[in-house]
């Protein structure tokens, strides 16, 4: 396709030459839907912050006439994916596709995806996948209608605002314990290694400095040495250390309500009105991952763990304003008990997948047509 300004060049990102230009591209792409609020991502001066903790990663840039007009990022890892005769697959994740507004609808986005797929193929990747909002029509048309991706899973993103003026209640009937990394890794491999997209390098995730720890909750009077009758576990990842978020396109009425609710909470706490965090300045968040448990009290136990994470966040600097969890769309048991605000959450995100090898295309058909029977592990490095 002709671009009118010369040949389109797609190459790997060079931090020294491209960092400032990529930041500029990100800023002009901060244009969301006209009819609803949306989030900006502040990479804190590091365009590869969202991928650099992955085992293998790459960022491509598109240049036209010496001007940077597009970017895309990708990561590679080994995960559990049930496709006979083996249950482990090498997968490539696509994220951060951006094209300058003046150069859209000229095929630059599809060229970037195709080039990234070529890199995946060179690295012997079995499948590539991406995540988007289910109502992102442009993304859906590009990946599904044009590039051959198919709908795979619809996880739920649960968002709970942090109240820095009030702690969440934790039942005195439960005991909370922080696990050693080795213990947490052993537990995850025992109970979650058969879940979809479970990362084979879970140990590296747990040992990463951004992983704040893994906690378990169980009834008082029982010991963790023996498997309790009921128990729950989760881990916490400090995403706010990598990048910040900021809310855009918010009605002035919402802005005024937020400010007034904060003032009431501060000076008249006896009214106990729910305070809305200030999302207009850049803010960080905690990401809860690896949620699992067993027994009749699982729901109450996982709620107590989430309340503990809330209190942990509320005791930190005030830029940590939300706690985010992403779970499989069929995990209704967890969704019922993980605290979240419905108006801020997404009940149905969209993951799409594509096979990069001919012999795996039948497996993709089976994966996408058979209802999921296993839980979904969401890697915190890809949030």
- Residue 195's Cα: distance from chain center in Å? 17
- With beta carbons less than 8 A apart as the criterion, state whether 165 and 352 touch: no
How far apart CA 145 and CA 114 sit, in angstroms, is: 14
pLDDT at 198 over 70: yes
Burial class (CB in 10 A: 0-12, 13-18, 19+), 251: exposed
Q: CA angle, 289 as apex, 286 and 290 as ends, to 5°?
A: 155
Token code pair at residue 47: 């365009």
* The predicted structure's pLDDT at residue 360: 66
pLDDT digits (tens, 9 = 90+) for 84-114: 567 899 999 999 999 999 999 999 999 999 9
User: What residues contact residue 117 under an 8 Å CB cut-off, 6+ apart?
Assistant: 92, 128, 356
User: Cβ(15)–Cβ(23) under 8 Å?
Assistant: no
Residue 350 has pLDDT above 50, yes or no: yes
- Residue 305 DSSP label: H
Beta bridge partners, 79, equal 89, 199
The helix (run of H) or strand (run of E) holding residue 23 is helix 15-28
**Separation of CA 354 from chain center:** 20
- Say whether pLDDT at 263 is over 50: no
Asked whether residue 20 carries a pLDDT value surpassing 80, the answer given is: yes
The secondary structure of 171-190 as a DSSP string is -TTEEEEEEPHHHHHHHHHH
Domains of the chain: 8-154+348-369 (3.40.630.30), 159-244+253-344 (3.40.630.30)
State residue 259's pLDDT score.
Answer: 47
- Whole-angstrom distance between the N-terminal and C-terminal Cα of the chain? 34
219 alpha carbon, distance to own chain's centre:
31
- Residue 4: is its pLDDT beyond 70? no
- For residue range 109-138, list pLDDT tens digits in order: 999 999 999 999 999 999 999 999 888 899
* DSSP-assigned states of every residue in 232-284: EEEEEEEGGGT-EEEEES--HHHHHHHHHHHHHHHH-GGG-PPPPP--SS-BE
């Amino acid at each position: 396709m002709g671009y009118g300004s010369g040949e389109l060049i797609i190459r790997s990102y060079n931090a020294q030459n491209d960092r400032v230009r990529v930041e500029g591209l990100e800023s002009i792409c901060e244009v969301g839907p006209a009819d609803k609020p949306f989030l900006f991502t502040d990479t804190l001066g590091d365009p590869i912050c969202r991928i650099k903790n992955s085992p293998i990663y790459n960022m491509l840039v598109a240049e036209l006439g010496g001007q940077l007009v597009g970017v895309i990022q990708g990561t590679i890892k080994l995960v559990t994916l049930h496709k006979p005769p083996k249950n482990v697959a090498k997968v490539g994740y696509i994220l951060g596709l951006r094209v300058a507004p003046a150069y859209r609808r000229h095929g630059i986005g599809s060229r970037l995806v195709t080039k990234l797929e070529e890199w995946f193929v060179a690295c012997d990747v079995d499948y590539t996948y991406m995540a988007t909002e289910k109502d992102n029509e442009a993304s859906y048309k590009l990946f599904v209608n044009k590039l051959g991706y198919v709908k795979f899973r619809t996880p739920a993103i649960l968002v709970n605002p942090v109240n820095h003026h009030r702690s969440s209640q934790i039942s005195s009937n439960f005991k909370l314990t922080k696990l050693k990394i080795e213990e947490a890794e052993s537990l995850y491999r025992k109970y979650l290694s058969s879940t979809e997209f479970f990362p084979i390098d879970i140990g590296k995730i747990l040992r990463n400095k951004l992983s704040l720890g893994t906690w378990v909750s169980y009834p008082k009077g029982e010991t963790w040495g023996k498997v309790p009758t009921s128990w729950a576990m989760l881990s916490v990842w400090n995403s706010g250390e990598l990048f910040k978020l900021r809310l855009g396109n918010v009605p002035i009425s919402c802005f005024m309500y937020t400010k007034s609710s904060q003032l009431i909470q501060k000076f008249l706490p006896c009214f106990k009105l729910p305070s809305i965090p200030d999302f207009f300045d850049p803010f960080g968040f905690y990401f809860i991952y690896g949620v699992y448990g067993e027994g009749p009290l699982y729901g109450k136990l996982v709620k107590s763990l989430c309340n503990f994470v809330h209190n942990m966040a509320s005791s930190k600097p005030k830029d940590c304003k939300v706690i985010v969890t992403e779970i499989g769309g069929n995990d209704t048991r967890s969704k019922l008990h993980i605290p979240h605000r419905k108006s801020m959450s997404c009940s149905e995100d969209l993951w799409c997948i594509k096979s990069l090898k001919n012999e795996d295309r039948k497996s993709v058909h089976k994966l996408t047509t058979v209802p999921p029977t296993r839980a979904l592990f969401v890697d915190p490095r890809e949030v």
